[in-house]
Amino acid sequence: MKITKLTPNFEVTDIKQTVAYYKENFGFRLVMCVPETQDGIDQSLAGNKTYVYAMMQRDNVEIFFQRTDTFKADVVYAQGLPIGASVSFYMDVVGIKAFYQEMKEKELPVTDLKTTWYGMQEFYLKDLNGYILGFAEKAG
């Protein structure tokens, strides 16, 4: 076996709201989405449709978002578990100080920007669905 990629699939309550949040706050772009009818793939969110899935991308990072009902049907081990996770999704970025300031100006819940014992400048935030996102850049 050869592993070629890891893409998180986040269980969310509202696809449109989550897509807007990741677009506005982190600059992700919508790659594709699946309407509730699951009869095709859309390249953009239509105002008159409800969605069960979206794929977003920024640079080399992809994230899937899947509505709770279909997520729990597909990922049976998630049945009975709450949304959110006891895991953080850690992303290396370039320009951490400016990005951190931008997140603070948007009044998103962020930790302090700090330099760690392992040589990274990093901070964490919790997104609208309760997921913990970490952002880091090598210090100095």
- Best CA proximity match to 32, nearest among 58, 3, 55, 64: 55
The pLDDT tens digits for 102-120 are 999 999 999 999 999 989 9
Compute the distance between CA of residue 4 and CA of residue 122 in angstroms, rounded to an integer.
Answer: 26
User: Which residues pair with residue 64 across a beta bridge?
Assistant: 9, 55
Compute the distance between CA of residue 12 and CA of residue 35 in angstroms, rounded to an integer.
Answer: 15
Reduced DSSP (H G I as helix, E B as strand, rest coil) percent helix, strand, coil of the chain, to 5? 25, 35, 40
Mean pLDDT, all residues of the chain: 93
Instruction: Give the CATH number of domain 1-83; options: 3.10.590, 3.80.10, 3.30.720, 2.50.20.
Output: 3.30.720
Confidence of residue 22 (pLDDT cuts 50, 70, 90): very high
| CATH code of the domain made up of 84-140 | 3.30.720.110
pLDDT (0 to 100) of residue 33: 97
The pLDDT tens digits for 47-71 are 999 999 999 999 999 999 999 999 9
| Domain boundaries of the chain, sorted by first residue | 1-83, 84-140
Taking phi first (over 0 means left), then psi (-120 to 50 degrees means alpha), and beta for anything else, what does residue 8 get?
beta
User: Which residue carries 């953009």 as its tokens?
Assistant: 44
Mean pLDDT of 80-109: 92
pLDDT (0 to 100) of residue 2: 79
Mean pLDDT of 23-33: 97
